Amino acid sequence: MPTYRAPVEQVQFLLNHVVGFQAHAQLPGFADATPDVVEAILSEGGRICEEVLQPLNVSGDREGCKRQADGSVITPKGFREAYKAYAEGGWIGLAAPAEYGGQGLPYTLAAAINEFATSANMAFSLYPGLTRGAQAALLVHANDEQKNLYMPKLVSGEWSGTMNLTEPHCGTDLGLIKTRAKRNADGTFSITGQKIFISAGEHDLTTNIIHLVLARIEGAPAGTKGISMFIVPKFLPDAQGNPGARNAVSCGSIEHKMGIHGNSTCVMNYDGATGFLIGEENRGLNAMFVMMNEARLGVAVQGLSMSEVAYQNAVSYARDRIQGRALSGAKDKDKAADPIIVHPDVRRMLLEMRAFNEAARGLILEAALQADVVARSSDEKAREEAEDMLGLLTPVLKGVLTDVGFDNTVKAQQVFGGHGYVGEWGMEQFVRDARIAMIYEGANGIQALDLVGRKLPKDNGRAVMAYFKKVGETVQRAENDATLAPLAKSLKTGLDHLQKATMWLMQNALAKPDNAGAASTDYMHLFGLVAMGQMWLVMAQAALRCKADDPSTAAEMDAKLIVARFYMERIMPETGARLARLSAGAEALMALPAEAF
């Protein structure tokens, strides 16, 4: 059975020495998050994930969710109690505003806890995750009455939330949505249609479920400009705000999925269900985008989480499993064979995961901190810069972290050989669970298009120019240090490739948009490689400082310097191949007629 230990110290290292968490003490909620408080929160959050959520991961996968004849859904054994403990511990409302019962702490900390929860039990973590997404949308778009009615219950976890976008015939292209909203005399709407792939659509964890639903009001313009967003509660709140009459929304079936079996993914049928408009008519996509941006960062975390827990288990197996001898001669002569961690190729797999995990975690915390600045800073300039950076990095993190995170679960499984393919060790579940993150909240190809088509050209490239400047400065700061110079050189080459790729896009994509599409995935991964390289160089600098300040950390910091070197030598070289591929342009891709495939 797999195990999990929350990487609390890794998060602390990043917060305190790399991303500059304490420098934001002036932001609302940050003053309360002193290093001691942060340590207590991370430890306690880690503990509940390790002790309450993780033990239900394998059983939740095997048992799955079960739809009853009456349309109700039973979650796996233990999920109800775990959900109650998680909600009562305040983890769902950790970063939510105090006025609705939240703890008002930095979103950055919530992102860290989200990593732990997902590593421990990805299927479970989606229930609070969707609820937090619903909170985010309501906070920005709902009116005060709606906020007062729904927010406290969502923050406490008494009620849960969902996002209803996808229909059988449309996912990416929301302009095709058919679900209809008919205006009622009392100002409410009657919602009719079918939604699919609705995570946490129906379950037994909470007394009510608040569906946020995209639908088209009668007479609305065609396409994306005619979509509105509605609150459709499973039970309509009564005058006291308690669950009242059952609404005409029901779970038609549960999807049979490759993984995340513990999460109830539903086909939801709306049969004239009462809905309440949120925000403006026909502006539903804007409202949904608020949820989606936070959701995309949350999905990026899933890539990291699955890679981290898969790595931990692969390391443990590689240390224990004896098989064959080291190439350089027997290491453990008293035993019949050496542990497989002596083999360079096993170490390669482990280090590829490790190098990714630490950099990805740094990038997630950095992005989360930017989200905190955007949401909480009173400094307009700081907000604008943070928004630029967050907008630019969100598609990169969603796309790259879930692609590579999935690959890493496959690598971790490979370390186990045949034992990785059978259920017993739990490794194949990580692969099956991680796979969805590349698909939902915008398939990774859509993230790549968002990056090249929207985020790059935005404000004449202001965000990307600022990013290049930042990476360039990191290189400059490191170039004259003997230890860091080789790392800086590698990052500089990567940055050069990214800049060349950006230039290529500027010169070739405007006149021929297919060139942008053809380059998009390679560009996104090239960007991700540089972003992780930048993070490794900053982490290496921090490791040198920490080691000098506190020699007792030397072993730990030396390990970081070794992994930094591994990253630059073994992962960074991919930037050249990515640049060469995308520079080939769209011609060979577009030449084949559709019928010739």
The least CB distance from residue 316 to a second copy, in Å, is 9
Question: Three-class SS of residue 339?
Answer: strand
- List the one residue from 108, 206, 247, 521 that touches a second copy (CB under 8 A): 521
The least CB distance from residue 458 to a second copy, in Å, is 17
User: Which residues in 496-515 contact a second copy (CB under 8 A)?
Assistant: 512-514
The least CB distance from residue 201 to a second copy, in Å, is 13
The closest alpha carbon to 492, from 530, 523, 544, 461, belongs to 530
User: Which residues in 402-441 contact a second copy (CB under 8 A)?
Assistant: 406, 410, 413-414, 417-418, 420-424, 428, 431-432, 435-436, 438-440
Cβ count near 166 (within 10 Å): 18
How far apart, in whole angstroms, are the C-alpha atoms of residue 464 and residue 453?
13
**Which element (helix H / strand E) includes 500?**
helix 485-508
Q: Is 550 exposed, middle or buried (0-12, 13-18, 19+ CB in 10 A)?
A: exposed
Does residue 91 contact residue 45 with C-beta atoms inside 8 Å? Answer: yes
The least CB distance from residue 381 to a second copy, in Å, is 35
Is 552 among the residues that bind a second copy (CB under 8 A)? no
How far apart, in whole angstroms, are the C-alpha atoms of residue 531 and residue 538?
11
Binding-site size for a second copy (CB under 8 A) equals 94
Is 346 among the residues that bind a second copy (CB under 8 A)? yes
User: Which residues in 60-89 contact a second copy (CB under 8 A)?
Assistant: none
The least CB distance from residue 317 to a second copy, in Å, is 11
Question: Three-class SS of residue 547?
Answer: helix
Tokens of 428: 């194949």
CA torsion sign for 505, 507, 511, 514 is negative
User: Which residues in 229-268 contact a second copy (CB under 8 A)?
Assistant: 255-259
Q: Toward a second copy, which CB reaches closer, 148 or 253? A: 253
> In angstroms, how far apart are the furthest CA atoms of the chain?
84
User: Which residues in 132-171 contact a second copy (CB under 8 A)?
Assistant: 166, 170-171
How far apart, in whole angstroms, are the C-alpha atoms of residue 463 and residue 504?
17
How far out from the chain centre does Cα 381 lie?
Answer: 27
Does residue 267 contact residue 193 with C-beta atoms inside 8 Å? Answer: no
Q: Toward a second copy, which CB reaches closer, 69 or 592? A: 592
Q: Toward a second copy, which CB reaches closer, 296 or 435? A: 435
Q: Is 145 a catalytic residue?
A: no
- List the one residue from 251, 301, 351, 498 that touches a second copy (CB under 8 A): 351
Considering only the stretches 90-98, 227-235, 345-353, 465-473, report the one whose residues sit in contact with a second copy under the rule CB under 8 A: 345-353
How far apart, in whole angstroms, are the C-alpha atoms of residue 356 and residue 116?
16
The closest alpha carbon to 13, from 39, 50, 31, belongs to 39
Q: Toward a second copy, which CB reaches closer, 280 or 424? A: 424
User: Which residues in 182-201 contact a second copy (CB under 8 A)?
Assistant: 196-197
Q: Toward a second copy, which CB reaches closer, 241 or 423? A: 423
Half-sphere exposure of 585 (CA within 13 A, CB side): 10
Q: Which of 81, 441, 587, 595 is catalytic?
A: 441
User: Which residues in 284-343 contact a second copy (CB under 8 A)?
Assistant: 315, 318-319, 323-324, 327-328, 336-337, 339, 341-343
How far apart, in whole angstroms, are the C-alpha atoms of residue 533 and residue 355?
10
The least CB distance from residue 517 to a second copy, in Å, is 4
Is 278 among the residues that bind a second copy (CB under 8 A)? no
Which residues have a catalytic role annotated?
A: 441
